[in-house]
Amino acid sequence: MSIAIATLSRGRAALRPKPKWSNANANAFLQSPPTSRAFHASPRPRFLETFIAPTHTLFEGVHSLTGLPWAYSIPLTAIVIRSFITLPISMYTRRIQQRRAERLPLLSAWTIRLHREVMAQSGHLGPAAAQAALFKKLGKQRAEMLQRAGIETWKIFLPVLQLPVFLIVIETLRMMSGTDIGLLGTLVSSFGSSYSIPFLSAISSLTAWYEPTLATEGMMWFKDLTAADPEGRLSYILSGAMLMNVLHFGKHEAEKLPLPVGVQRLNRSLVVICCLIGPLLSSTPSGILIYWISSSVCSKIQASVLARTMPVRIIAPCKPRSFQGIRSSMANLLK
């Protein structure tokens, strides 16, 4: 009986899975000094190079084809990017705004009709309840009307897609200038030290993008495009260009009607940010500031051209002529 039990226990032990580590390896691991550490090479992030390589090729192509110094090639590249990437988006958004303005009379008619229905159904509940019911029905009807016409509200915010393109271009110029950290690096560092430190160290090792000719092909008082503006003018010029765009955005084109309260607050916040751009970016490389200024000026020119070629005409009720105007017209006829 004991022999059978011993044989059965040995059979079960043979069926158990053996550990990957042998006794010799385990003893060697336990006897290793505590100061020894194992290192391995971290994989270099390739996704950033995937987006930066086409932009770098564009800068190099414009610089090589035109033969112009970098002080002129960078603004020319900004015009190319604005013309072929951001301008089509702006034109599409402009067309959406035009079609939405054409449907304002229909929305006004629905407002009158829904107001009558709400007053008949919920007028006895008080002004607050009636107004809430009217806003609910009007919002639903407005959403259905815009969706049926294919001019939803979210399409107005398509120009936000320009922001990733702008950040990639700025990061490309940052690498070409040999600066340690740029706008994207600042954003990535906000995720925490455990992620940002290896990421930023890997970015800093990308010396293949550095362009030494940027240090000698400046103009006027900023000869070195890899260094900050020695006189500090470019950052304040950028602040003025951005402020000009914000003030142009705050103007209503057709009837100059008052903007919503939320848009007015946003404009005030942007004005404050534009005023702070000058001192905050005083240490930024001149090449980055040149591109930013060129992009802002090009944006202002494109907005002015679209305002003239594709105006958004607000269809509003006719204004009745005053009695004073009629009397003056009759007096002119009798003369």
Q: What's the angle, vertex CA 269, arms to CA 267 and CA 272, rounded to 5? A: 110
Q: What is the pLDDT of residue 35?
A: 47
CA 121 to chain centroid, in Å, comes to 45
298-332 per-position pLDDT tens digit: 988 998 898 888 888 776 666 655 545 545 555 55
With cut-offs at 50, 70 and 90, classify the pLDDT of residue 139: confident
CB atoms within 10 A of CB 158: 13
52 or 330: which leads in pLDDT: 52
CA 281 to chain centroid, in Å, comes to 18
Residue 119 has pLDDT above 90, yes or no: no
Structure tokens at 276: 């702070």
Indicate the average pLDDT of the chain.
74
Which single residue is written with the structure tokens 């240490």?
A: 283
Structure tokens at 255: 């009837």
CA distances from 56 to 46, 168, 173, 211, 269 (A): 15, 10, 8, 10, 33
Residue 98, classified by CB atoms within 10 Å of its CB into exposed (0-12), middle (13-18) or buried (19+), is: middle
Q: What's the angle, vertex CA 237, arms to CA 232 and CA 241, rounded to 5? A: 155
Lowest mean pLDDT among 37-46, 112-121, 162-171, 227-236: 37-46
